[in-house]
Amino acid sequence: MTSVADDLHGYLEAAARATPDAIAVEEAGDAKRSYRELDQLSDRVRDRLVATGVRPGDRVGLCLPKSIDTLAILYGILKCGAAYVPTDATAPMARAGLILADCGVRAAFVETSLHDELARHMHEQGGDAPLFRIDTPGGGLGLERTLGELDGASPAPVVPTHRAAPDDLAYILYTSGSTGRPKGVMLSHANATHFVEWCSDLLEPTPADRFSSHAPFHFDLSILDLYTPARHGACVVIVPEDVGKEPGPLAELIARKALTIWYSAPSILGLLARQGELDRRDYASLRFVLFAGEVFPVVQLRSLKALWQGPRYVNLYGPTETNVCTAHEIPETVPEDRTTPYPIGRVCHHLEGRIVDPAGTPVARGEEGELCIAGPNVMQGYWNLPERTAAGFLVTEDGRRWYRTGDIVTEDDDGVLTYVGRRDRMIKKRGYRIELGEIESCLYTHPEVVEAATVAIEDDEGNLRVRAHLATKDGGRLSLIALKRFCAERLPLYMVPDLFRFHASLPKTSTDKVDYQALLREPD
């Protein structure tokens, strides 16, 4: 397939030239924008950012709810030649402030209600970039008001769009870091466009397709959601974050918006099957149901397939550092007696995989080893962390860089990979990537806590739960409510431990390290 553009914003411009009146983006209500309108609105963002001093190679941050406004800002940032850095507007502002200061953004867009707190946290971390406030983002109108006010004070001259080189950064996505600080995964235009081309081969989209945008923009799932439709002049429908968590309203939205391609973590699909009353509405337009981010329990997958019989189902796998790197299509019938999860599938055709032992030597076919990935999807590195970056790669004698996923897999005779487990202490819960060490770092900041360890356990239905084990100063218990509130003020909600246990002191191994195996063996 020949591509229509060499950089991500080129997709938008090509669609705006070819089909200017086609709808590029819709929100949950009636708000929508055509390709021409989205292109023009993002031009205005570009002009304003350049007038503010943003130059190619800079970073520009965002702390906004998902909306047409936010999408136009992403494209505006790319058109300057800068990389965008999206942060979670629903998580504590301390985290967003730390991220935006860490990568030294030149400017950032923030929802007005979050402005003061974000500014305070950025200053505490040494960040001093100008923040553009957007009142109630939605429909592109909040952004237009902000741009209008700025233009009224001093118009931004029209400047040309910057054409990105393949290795120029397009975005930095921060993921949970084991030391308690999130780390920034740097991804280039070539990383993203090669991925979008692969999605195009899988999905064969047409301008009539209507993609879901369920994942937040600071998640790598959003790359498929936002840029694959632009590549084909199709439409993306932005699912608001609150609706995205509630099976009832979400089921209604998927039917009303006649979505054709759905992509999300499995957990919400499981909830839709159980609670979405999917038999009450018409979902005939759905062509694909894609899921990624964690294992889809077979029981839930089977009940979803019974309710939505039309679409093809594909399990996608890949860490943020590579985006999707393997895929497995679920067969038409899921046998009644099957309980083992489906494989993660074959390595995507434009990438190469290799399965290695701890020394980096390839293992024999069928044996367990760590999956390493090479090819054009693989990240440039972690922002400002050269040692972490070096440790993340295996470099072979021919000089190729292989990203070490940390995931242990096996390969069958047909090249199909099955996920076995993790090499380290990272888990995936409801599609969110969590370093258990980051939760422990937070618990250690509690004035009463002297020892903290977290483990991940499965409940009866295969759902992952995080259990925290604590030892306190006076050896007693703490209020669970107060502890949960303490964590919720410092961590995103999905990282707040589900369960707490109190110990006089934590069990230790012979080398005096916390004995995680003993903690895991504790009954529920």
Partner 1 sequence: MSDAAQIQAIVKDFVLAEFLEGEDPSELKDDTELVTTGILDSLATLKLVTYIEEQFEVEIDADEADETHLNTLADIVRLIQSKR
The residue ranges that bind partner 1 (CB under 8 A) are: 242, 245-249, 251, 267, 271, 274-277, 430, 463, 477, 479-482, 484-485, 487-488, 493-494, 496, 498-499, 502
Q: Where are the alpha helices (DSSP H) in 165-263?
A: 189-203, 221-231, 247-256
Closest to partner 1 by CB, 246 or 448:
246
Residue 212's alpha-carbon distances to 63, 235, 257, 378, in angstroms, are 21, 9, 9, 25
Whole-number minimum distance, CB 478 to partner 1, in Å? 10
Closest to partner 1 by CB, 223 vs 439, is: 439
Number of H helices, E strands in the chain: 15, 26
**Structure tokens belonging to residue 515:** 């004995």
Q: Are 369 and 355 in contact (CB under 8 A)?
A: yes
For residue 296, the minimal CB distance to partner 1 (Å) is 15
β-pair partners for 216: none
Q: Give dist(CA 451, CA 504) in Å, integer.
A: 9
Q: How far is the CB of 275 from partner 1 (least distance, A)?
A: 5
- What DSSP character marks residue 42? H
Burial of 349 per CB tally in 10 Å (0-12, 13-18, 19+): exposed
475: region left, alpha or beta (phi > 0 left; psi from -120 to 50 alpha)? left
Amino acid (1-letter code) at residue 355: I
Q: Which is nearer to partner 1, 197 or 498 (CB)?
A: 498
CB of 89 to partner 1, least distance (A): 15
* Shorter beta-carbon distance to partner 1: residue 202 or 466: 466
Q: Please, which residue, 385 or 436, has the CB nearer to partner 1?
A: 436
Select 56 or 249, whichever has its Cβ closest to partner 1: 249
Residue 301 main-chain phi, psi, to 5 deg: -60, -45
CB of 240 to partner 1, least distance (A): 12
Q: How far lies 11's CA from each of 23, 163, 208, 353, 513, in Å?
A: 14, 12, 16, 29, 52
How far apart are CB 67 and partner 1 at their closest, in Å? 20
Q: How far is the CB of 112 from partner 1 (least distance, A)?
A: 21
| Smallest distance from partner 1 to CB 437, Å | 19
Burial annotation 80-110 (CB, 10 A radius, 16+ → b, else e) = bbbbbbbbbbebbbbbbbbbbbbbbbbbbbb
**Closer Cβ to partner 1, 427 or 487, answer by number:** 487
Between residues 22 and 499, which has the closer beta carbon with respect to partner 1? 499
